[in-house]
Chains A and B, each alone.
Chain A
Amino acid sequence: MTTTNRALNRLLLAFSGLLLLLAGSSATLVASVPAALQLWRSGAAFAIVETETLLSAIPVAATGDSWAGVAVVALMAALIGALVAFTVRQGRGRTRTLVNTPQTDQGRTRIDAAFAEQALEQSLAGQSDFLGLHTSTYRVNGASMLKVSVVARRGTAPRDVIDAVHQSVRGLDRVLGTEIPVLLHIGGGFRSRLAGPTHIRRTTA
C-alpha cells in the first residue's frame, strides 16, 4: 500500500539489465571473435581521436584541462543525487491521520490513525487463533486506509479470521460514524510454524 513507484523500479531494472546484457555479450564477442576485435579496435581508436580533438578545441581557461572532465563529474553528481532520491522514496505512504474533514461552520474533525489502530487491536486482542496482530494506516488515493496484519495459527480457516476482523471493523464503523477502507493481510510465517496447531479447540456450531 506504499506509494513506491513500481513502474520506475521496473524501468531501472530493465535499463540496467539491458545495459549489462549488451556490455557483457559484446565484451565476450570482442574477446573471442577476431573480426569483432578488429572492428572494436578501429572504432574505439577513432572515437578516442575524435574526442581528443573535440576536447582540445575547448579547454577550460585556467588549467588547460578539458571541460569533459568537469562534465563527467557533474553528470556523476547528478546521477548520484537522482538515485539517492529514488532509494529514499521507496516504501513511503504511511500516515498518522485517519480522518480530516474540511472546515465547516461547526468546526472541523480530525481523528488520529492511532485511535482506530488501537481500537482494532484491543477489540481483536482476545482471539486465540491470532499469534500476531499489527495495524497501520496508509494514504491510498487521497484517503486513509487501515491495514490489519494477522499472523494466523497453523490450520486456522482464513474465513474465521476474516469474520472476526469484519466484526471488529463494523464496530469501529459505528464508533467513527464513517467507513474507513480496510485491508486485511493474513500471514503465516515463522511464528506460525513455531507455535504449531491447536490440539484442543472450542467447537463452534
Chain B
Amino acid sequence: MKTAPATPAMTPAARDRRVLRRETHSSRSGLAITVALLIIVVCLIVGTEMVLQLLGRAPLLFSPTDAARTAAAPASDLRRVMVPLGIGVALVGLLLLLAAVLPGRRTRHGLSTDRLAVVVDDEVIASALARSAAIAAGVAPDAVRVTVGRRSAQVRLTPTSGIRVDEARVTEAAVSALERVGPRPSIRPRLLVAPTGRVGS
C-alpha cells in the first residue's frame, strides 16, 4: 500500500540488499489474500442478514439478534460441539499468528556481484553441488543426493562397490563449488558416504 520509502538517495548497495531480502523471504500474499477473502465473505453474510432484518424480511441463514441470544446462553448440545470447534479455531489462529511472526524464509540464497543482484534457488545450488561431488568421487550423478539448508549442505554419496571414495577430495570439490557460487549466508558442506556401496553406480 505505502509505496516504499521513496528516498532516491538510497545507495545501489542498500537497494540490492532490500531487493534480495524481499526475494529470499515470503510476502505471505497468498495467505493474506485468502484471509481477506474469508473476512469479506463473513462481512457479506452478516451485512445481508442485517439488511434483511432492518427491512423486516425473513433471514436467509440466521437472524443476527437470534444468533446473539443463542451465543449469550449456549445450550448444552451447542456446548458439546463448542469444545472441538473452539480447539480447531484456536489452532488455525495460532498457525496464522506464527505465519505472521516467523521470518518466512524461502529456500533461496542471495548474493551480489559488482553488477548484478542474484537470487539462486537452493535446488539449483544442490544440483550443481551434486554434479561437482559426483565428478570428484568418480561416481554416477544418481549416486549423490544433496540437500541444501540455510548454512549447511548435506552431500550423501553412495560409492561404487569395491572402489574407495577419496573423502577429502570430494569435500574439497564441494567447498570450492560452493565458494564459486558465493551465497550469503555461506553454506558449509557435510559429506556422508554410505557404508555399503552399490554395484555399477
Contact = CB atoms under 8 A, between A and B. Distances in A.
A72 B46 contact: yes
Select the residue from B44, B87, B97 with max chain A CB neighbours within 10 A: B97
A184 B118 contact: yes
Given A17-B93, A140-B15, A4 B74 contact: no
A107 B88 CA distance: 65
A86 B54 contact: no
A41 B71 CA distance: 9
A169 B31 CA distance: 36
Interface stretch (B22-30, B157-165, B166-174, B191-199): B22-30
A32 to B, nearest CB: 6
B36 A197 contact: no
A140 B12 CA distance: 11
Nearest to B92: A20
B contacts with A: majority SS: helix
B116 interface: yes
Contacts of A41: 72-73
A125 interface: no
B46 A181 contact: no
A184 B110 CA distance: 10
A contacts with B: majority SS: helix
A117 B176 CA distance: 33
Given A3-B3, A186-B124, A80 B43 contact: yes
Given A3-B4, A197-B141, A87 B37 contact: yes
Given A21-B93, A22-B93, A76 B43 contact: yes
B36 A187 contact: no
A194 interface: no
B83 interface: yes
A23 to B, nearest CB: 6
A100 interface: no
A188 B33 CA distance: 26
Select the residue from B6, B32, B87, B125 with max chain A CB neighbours within 10 A: B32
A90 B123 contact: no
A24 B87 CA distance: 6
B109 to A, nearest CB: 9
A40 B92 CA distance: 23
A24 B180 contact: no
Given A17-B93, A17-B94, A83-B39, A152 B124 contact: yes
A26 to B, nearest CB: 8
A184 B128 contact: no
B88 A24 contact: yes
9 contacts: A2-B27, A27-B85, A29-B86, A69-B50, A69-B53, A76-B44, A76-B46, A80-B43, A83-B37
Interface of B: 1-4, 6-8, 10, 12, 15-16, 18-19, 22-23, 27-29, 31-33, 35-37, 39-40, 43-44, 46-47, 50-51, 53-54, 64, 68-69, 71-74, 79-80, 82-83, 85-101, 113, 115-121, 123-125, 127-128, 130-132, 141, 177, 180-182
Given A24-B89, A32-B79, A157-B132, 6 more contacts: A83-B40, A86-B1, A156-B124, A156-B127, A158-B118, A162-B116
Interface of A: 1-6, 8-14, 16-32, 37, 40-41, 44-45, 47-48, 63, 65, 69-70, 72-73, 76-77, 79-80, 83-84, 86-87, 89-91, 140-143, 145, 152, 154-159, 162, 165-166, 169-170, 179, 181-189, 192, 197
